[in-house]
A and B are shown apart, each in its own frame.
Chain A
Amino acid sequence: MYRVQEEVSLLRASLQGDTGAWGEIINRYKDAVFGLCLGFMRNRADAEDVSHDAFIRAYVNLRRYDLERRFSTWLFTIAANLCRNQLRYRKNHPSTEQPLQIRGGTDPAQLVGAEDRQARIREALNKLPYSYRAPLVLRFYNELPYQEISEVLAIPEGTVKTRIHRGKAMLRDLFAEGA
C-alpha cells in the first residue's frame, strides 16, 4: 500500500512538471515496458525506441490518466498501442535487423540443453502471429491477470483466455517441429 501511495505522489509531482519524479517512475517501469515491447516486436532496436516513446507520450498525456485506475495498466496500454502501430509501419518498411536471436544466458556454466530449449521457444515466438504473442507476453512476462490483459489489448476477457490457450498450443507445436 505504501508503494502505491508513493507512486501516486510521484505521479502528482510529475503532473506539476517534476521530471525527477517522472525519472523515478521510468526507473520502476522500464524493465516491464521494455520487456513488453521486446516480446511484442521481437526486435531489440524497435523495442528500445518504442519504450522510450511510450514514456514520453505517457508524460505528455499524464493529465488523461485517471488516478483511480492502475497506472501500470494505463502505461502498458500506451506501450501496446505504440507497438501495434510500429508493427503496422514495419509491414511497409521492414527492418534490416534480424528477429530476436538472443542467447538465453551469459553464464558459460549454463546447461547447453536449457539454452537450446530457450532458442527453440524464441524461434517459435518469432513465428507466432502478433494476436497470440501479445497476450502470452502480458501473461508470462508482465504477469498480468486476464482482466488487465483484456484492458491493455482492448479485447474481451474470453478472447484473451482463448488466445492464450491457442497460442500455447501453437507454441508447443512449433517447438516440437524445432521451430
Chain B
Amino acid sequence: MKHDELDNLLRDTLKADVAASKSCILGMEDRVIMQLGERSPRLRWSQWLAQLAAPTRGVRLGQIAVVGATAAIFLFIGLALANRILPGNNSPGLSLQPVRSADGNQEVLFVMPALDAESVAVVGSFNAWEGTALSDLDGDGIWTASIPLSPGRYEYAFIIDGRWWGQDPLADDYIQSFGEYSSVRYIGRGGDGA
C-alpha cells in the first residue's frame, strides 16, 4: 500500500468512526453545563488566599472551616502513620527507610491510609501499571506493601476501591496533569526515596 493511500484510509476511518458515534456527543454541552451547575472556574491558591485575607470581605467562616478540616485530616493521617511506622510500635518490620536486599534491590514500603477501603493497590512504572495489592491485616485502615526496587525513578499511584489516588504524602515529587496526579519516588543514588 502506498504512503498516501494509507494516510487517506487512516484519516477516513477515524472520521467515519466519529461520524458513526454522533449520538455520543449529541447534547454534550447541555450535559456538561448541567453537571457544572453553579460552579465557577477554580481560583488559584494565591487568589484564594488573597481573597481569604482581604479585610474588606470580612471573615469567611466557611473557607476557614475547610482549611481547619483539611488540617485535621492531615494531622490524623500523620498520627496514624507515626503510630504505624515509628520504632517501638507493634509493627517492627515496617520502616520508611528502604532496606537493601542481597541482590542489590531495595525493599520500598508503600503506605496508604484508607479507613473504609475494601481494596488498595499500587500501580506504577515498576509493575507496568498492573497493580500490586496492599494489605491491611490488622484492620487499622493503614494499607502497606513492600516492593523490591532497583535504583531509579519510579512513577506510581494508588488505586483505592478502583479510584485513582495519585498524591502519596510520602512521594518525593508529583507529576501534574490538570487535576490528575501521579507520585514519583527516587530510589538509590541521589535520594533514597521513601
Contacts and interface: CB of A to CB of B under 8 A. Distances in A.
A60 B40 CA distance: 7
Interface in B56-74: none
A47 interface: yes
Interface in A155-179: 168, 171-172, 175-176
A172 B12 contact: no
Nearest to B11: A140
B10 A60 contact: no
A122 B14 CA distance: 8
Query: Which of A118, A140, A175 has the most CB atoms of chain B within a 10 A radius of its CB?
Result: A140
A82 B179 CA distance: 9
A168 B162 contact: no
Contact of A85 (B10, B47, B180): B180
B102 interface: no
A150 interface: no
A48 interface: yes
A98 interface: no
Contacts of B13: 104, 118, 121-122, 125
Interface of A: 14-15, 17, 19-20, 22-24, 26-27, 30-31, 34-35, 38-39, 44, 47-48, 51-52, 55-64, 77-78, 81-82, 84-85, 88-89, 91-93, 100, 102-106, 117-118, 121-122, 125, 136-137, 140-141, 168, 171-172, 175-176
B18 interface: yes
Nearest 3 Cβ contacts at the A-B interface: A81-B177, A26-B29, A62-B41
B42 interface: yes
Given A59-B39, A63-B43, A82-B180, 5 more contacts: A30-B28, A35-B17, A60-B179, A78-B177, A91-B123
B36 A30 contact: no
Interface string B167-194: 0000000000111100000000000000
